[in-house]
């Protein structure tokens, strides 16, 4: 099911080698596809992208290999579908930054919560860590990540604008894109580090973002230009 985020900012269509062969219509078929994706996420987390294959997927899911190929043309299409589903899930944690758009709520409290929710969620969701790693390596998944970052940046810019910031939307979008891209880069690194190093990276990321956003929200950045 598409989230509000994907309904507002639909993804670019996938290439033929990644697009599903068919979309499930009946409830039984939808449950089969969800089973395939759930199982794929668990296998990717266990063995990584390189060891993942459709034969093992079918065996673990308790379906025939031809059932997998009925919906997906190849294993990369399955991985891509898992990545898209995970992106929808973790974007839902931010809820379009709606709370951030209300100046009655503390920017600092909300932003710390957003980052903590993302990190904890990626560690908790089956396949989350492996897919985040793959998004750094596979061009097909990099494209999904890039589109997702652009959507989040537009939502963040709109939320900050609704707090009453007197800066052109184009500049706010650029600022929001910088925040999202630095967040992704640092958090992907932190997710690979031991706990102490990860915590240090995340704490510094929070300080960086808060100082940058507060310069806009409090008007300092606008006065400089």
DSSP of 157-225: HHHHHHTT--S-HHHHHHHHHHHHHHHHHHHHHHTTS-HHHHHHHHHHHHHHHHHHHHHHHTTHHHHT-
What does the buried/exposed string (b/e) look like for 9-19 if buried means 16 or more CB atoms within 10 Å of the residue's CB?
beeeebeeebe
Interval 53-74: pLDDT, tens: 999 999 999 999 999 999 999 9
What fold characterizes domain 86-223?
A: Tetracycline Repressor; domain 2 (1.10.357)
Q: Where are the domains of the chain?
A: 4-82, 86-223
Q: What are the φ/ψ torsions at residue 14 (nearest 5 degrees)?
A: -80, 160
Q: What is the pLDDT of residue 222?
A: 54
User: If we measure between CA atoms, which residue out of 94, 208, 102 comes closest to residue 151?
Assistant: 94
Q: Kindly state the DSSP code that residue 105 receives in the 8-state scheme.
A: S
Q: What is the pLDDT of residue 176?
A: 96
Query: Hey, do 4-82 and 86-223 end up sharing a CATH topology, with the first three levels equal?
Result: yes
Q: Is the pLDDT of residue 105 over 60?
A: yes
d(CA 204, CA 191): 15
- The mean per-residue pLDDT over the stretch 211-215 comes to 92
Are 52 and 134 spatial neighbours (Cβ–Cβ below 8 Å)?
A: no
- The mean per-residue pLDDT over the stretch 25-50 comes to 92
What is the CATH number that goes with domain 4-82? 1.10.357.10
Calculate helix-pair angle for 27-51, 75-92, nearest 10 degrees.
100
């Amino acid at each position: 099911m598409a989230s509000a985020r994907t309904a507002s900012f639909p993804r670019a269509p996938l290439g033929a080698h990644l697009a599903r062969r068919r979309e499930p219509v009946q409830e039984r078929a939808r449950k089969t596809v969800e089973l395939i994706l759930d199982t794929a996420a668990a296998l990717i987390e266990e063995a990584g992208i390189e060891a993942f294959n459709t034969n093992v997927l079918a065996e673990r899911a308790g379906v025939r290999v031809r059932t997998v190929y009925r919906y997906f043309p190849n294993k990369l299409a399955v991985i891509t579908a898992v990545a898209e589903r995970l992106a929808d899930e973790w974007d839902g944690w931010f809820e379009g930054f709606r709370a951030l758009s209300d100046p009655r709520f503390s920017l600092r409290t909300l932003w710390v919560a957003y980052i903590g929710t993302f990190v904890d969620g990626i560690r908790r969701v089956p396949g989350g860590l492996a897919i985040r790693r793959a998004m750094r390596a596979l061009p097909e998944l990099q494209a999904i990540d890039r589109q997702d970052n652009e959507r989040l940046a537009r939502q963040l810019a709109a939320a900050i604008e609704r707090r009453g910031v007197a800066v052109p939307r184009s500049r706010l979008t650029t600022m929001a894109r910088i925040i999202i891209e630095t967040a992704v880069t640092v958090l992907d690194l932190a997710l690979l580090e031991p706990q102490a190093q990860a915590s240090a990276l995340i704490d510094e990321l929070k300080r960086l973002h808060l100082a940058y956003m507060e310069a806009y929200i409090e008007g300092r950045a606008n006065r400089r230009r």
